[in-house]
Amino acid sequence: MAISQNQPYQRARFGLSVKLITMIIAMIMIVEVVIYLPSVANFRIRWLDDRIQVAGVAARVIETVPDAMDLTPDMINNLLKSAQAEALVVRMDDKSQLIERLDMPMPIAVVDADTRQRDSLPLIIGALDVIINGSNRTMRIIGVPSGSTDLAVEVLMSEAGLRQEMLAYSRNIFWLSLLVAVATAAAIFFFLNRLLVRPIGRMTQNMIAFRKTPEDANRIIVPSNRTDEVGIAERELAMMEQDIFSMLRQKQHLADLGLAVAKINHDLRNTLSAAQLLSDQVATLEDPQVQRLAPRLVTTLDRAINFAQSVLDYGRQKTIPPKFMHVDLRALIDESAIDAGVRSHPSIEFENDVPDDVVINVDPDQISRVFVNIMKNAREALESHTKADGGKKVYVKRIEGSNCNQILIGDNGPGLPPRAKENLFVAFDGSGRAGGTGLGLVIAKEIAEAHGGKLTYLEGEQGTVFSVELPLASN
């Protein structure tokens, strides 16, 4: 019966797709940064090692000259140019020799870079320092050329060249990382979009449309054949929407039926009221046959009118939140006993064992209905029961618990029949007497639960006992 919605899912401006691909690119770039730091540190140390190697070759050339005084300015400039240095210090056999350009003064501010130190953290810090601050500084590179045991060199040179090459290297790494991130994110997003984003978007669009018109069967989603979690979610959503659709249809039918029954019941009550007036007139006739049948007729009509009135009252009942206030429990029970016709009854004893100082936080009008319904049922049961041993009695007791007030309302009557116990709080099925609707206890249970309590029937050896549990009054 369900028809699939072909409307495309309208994604939000910053919906799941945008967030997903942004998160993937960001995570890949973070990983690339973690990889970049040791990579750029290795680039720097390799660059410095190359300068030490070139300086070592220049030192060997100087070593072949018998006397350093024989080095001409052109030779010095060529050696320093090949080493890309401004000055060169050669240490060998505890002797040091400085080679510098005669036309350039020695730099004052010098930053040391010792290639003999290979710890990771100092190398990373040194690389970042070059990138940030290495534009106008002079660097002194200290190291030992490979293959040399008796030779150490120091190279003084500008740090700007190293910084430029490191920046170029960093740019290449950045663009390569961005390209890898975008390509990876696109590939991952392509699969996730097909596997998750589009199905979730479809379900989201369906839920929005179904919420607007749940009575339209065309809005029920048609699940796919997937066997994974998404497929399970689609099937569960379809079943839930079908259940909601069916319940709405059923409730609409019940509402229509209830309206019709209410109208019929209203007319029936009026007809029965008219018949009751006629029966009262017939009861005044002196015919013996009429006098014998009239009471039964009046009782039957009264029962029918009460039934019709109970159905109308139940249908008109509105769910009104309780208006809580502090109430004297004993006084409320006494007033309810008067309304239920129990107190001052000629043949029924009423006993209220609730202490005088008990205060509860309830809606007095609603809770009074609970007490009245229970005590009225007890009175009617005792009135119809012939008790040979002892008198008839209705009693109320209060038991204080750790988090509630338990109020016991009982009688010493015949008790409830088995059928009434099975359907005690079911409308139209829970009455313990002929002609009853059972609506009183249903309404009483709803009121107790609205107060955060509960209404239960307690099995006993004699009579009927109901327990009304209400939360303790807060200060």
CA neighbor of 87 nearest in space, from 1, 15, 158: 158
pTM of the model: 0.44
Instruction: Give yes or no for residue 333 having a pLDDT over 90.
Output: yes
Q: What percent of the chain has pLDDT over 70?
A: 71
Instruction: Give yes or no for residue 458 having a pLDDT over 70.
Output: yes
pLDDT in tens, 251-294: 776 666 666 666 666 666 666 666 666 666 666 766 777 666 66
Question: The tokens of 459 are what?
Answer: 């099995």
CA neighbor of 106 nearest in space, from 140, 73, 63, 153: 140
Single-letter residue type at 293: L
Q: What is the CA radius of gyration of the chain?
A: 49
CA neighbor of 156 nearest in space, from 101, 118, 102: 101
What is each CA distance from 216 to 22, 203, 319, 412, in whole angstroms?
38, 16, 28, 55
Q: What angle do CA 32, 35, 41 make, to 5 degrees?
A: 130
Longest alpha-carbon distance in the chain: 162
pLDDT at 269: 64
Q: What pLDDT band is residue 9 in, cutting at 50, 70 and 90?
A: very low
pLDDT at 167: 92
Lowest mean pLDDT among 6-10, 49-53, 232-236, 432-436: 6-10
Q: What percent of the chain has pLDDT over 90?
A: 11
Q: Which residues contact 293 (CB under 8 A, 6 or more apart)?
A: none
Higher pLDDT, 414 or 371: 371
Specify the 3-state DSSP secondary structure of 141.
strand
Domains defined for the chain, CATH in brackets: 16-180 (no CATH), 247-316 (1.10.287), 325-471 (3.30.565.10)
pLDDT in tens, 66-78: 555 556 666 666 7
Mean pLDDT of the region 366-390: 83
Q: What pLDDT band is residue 354 in, cutting at 50, 70 and 90?
A: very high
pLDDT in tens, 85-134: 777 777 877 777 777 766 666 555 578 888 888 888 989 998 998 888 87
Instruction: Give yes or no for residue 206 having a pLDDT over 60.
Output: yes
Mean pLDDT of the region 129-157: 83
Please name the residue that has the structure tokens 């003064």. Answer: 105
Q: Which residues contact 279 (CB under 8 A, 6 or more apart)?
A: 294, 297, 298, 301
In residues, how long is the chain? Answer: 475
Specify the 3-state DSSP secondary structure of 180.
helix
